[in-house]
């Protein structure tokens, strides 16, 4: 689908989680609908919930509860997080080629930066069997969420790398903005939860239709 005009020399690759490494929509949708059902609110089809993912748990809950249901936010957050914590690996799966590609890139520093809560980010990576491959894992909780560049800049500093030799890989516009504002290169995957047309218009350094294509663009 995409042709690559150049390859990138990087030392650090930082990945988003949901929609980039793993398709977590089924478990997120189940948790969201558990909360809605418990609160007596209309449930949402997975296709609608897909467009609500991003921005951290509070924003996600506010979206699936819907306008006018702000009074249920705290309870909805509690219900969905409790359910998701127990079931985050039931239906979630790595995208095709993720485990094999990460193994082929193991000579680089690899990290994860997600807006998902830190404990849940680590839990999903552990359940998926890929947690040990990352030199750093950062989720929401202590630093600002993407699209702030602060958490990416913190990872770069922590691992002793430079922005110019760092690649931020994600499926949303927030990932592109985060990478650019941190001074890093950016790669967008078009198979995730972001809108492919919007990602193309944002002109990241590279667009990927398959995760495995990473090995074709990295020296």
Which residues are part of the catalytic machinery? 16
Cα–Cα–Cα angle for 159, 186, 203, rounded to 5 degrees: 165
Residue for token pair 């997975």: 46
Cβ proximity of 71 and 77 under 8 Å: no
Residue for token pair 């006018």: 68
Distance CA 96, CA 105 (A): 15
Q: Closest by alpha carbon to 78, among 49, 53, 58, 103? A: 58
* Class of residue 28 by CB neighbours under 10 A (exposed 0-12, middle 13-18, buried 19+): buried
- 3 state DSSP class of 68: coil
């Amino acid at each position: 689908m995409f042709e690559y005009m150049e390859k990138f020399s990087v030392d650090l690759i930082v990945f988003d989680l949901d929609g980039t490494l793993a398709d977590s929509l089924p478990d997120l949708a189940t948790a969201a609908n558990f909360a809605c059902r418990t609160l007596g609110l209309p449930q949402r089809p997975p296709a609608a919930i897909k467009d609500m993912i991003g921005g951290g748990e509070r924003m996600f809950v506010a979206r699936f509860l819907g306008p006018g249901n702000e009074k249920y936010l705290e309870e909805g957050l509690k219900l969905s997080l409790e359910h998701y914590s127990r079931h985050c690996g039931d239906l979630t799966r790595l995208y095709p080629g993720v485990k094999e590609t990460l193994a082929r890139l193991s000579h680089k520093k690899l990290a994860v930066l997600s807006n998902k809560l830190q404990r849940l980010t680590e839990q999903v990576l552990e359940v998926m069997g890929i947690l040990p491959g990352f030199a750093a894992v950062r989720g929401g909780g202590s630093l600002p969420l993407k699209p702030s560049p602060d958490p990416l800049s913190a990872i770069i500093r922590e691992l002793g790398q430079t922005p110019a030799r760092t690649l931020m890989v994600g499926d949303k516009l927030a990932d592109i903005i985060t990478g650019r504002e941190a001074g890093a290169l950016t790669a967008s995957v078009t198979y995730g939860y972001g809108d492919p047309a919007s990602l193309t218009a944002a002109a990241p350094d590279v667009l990927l239709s398959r995760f495995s294509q990473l090995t074709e663009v990295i020296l």
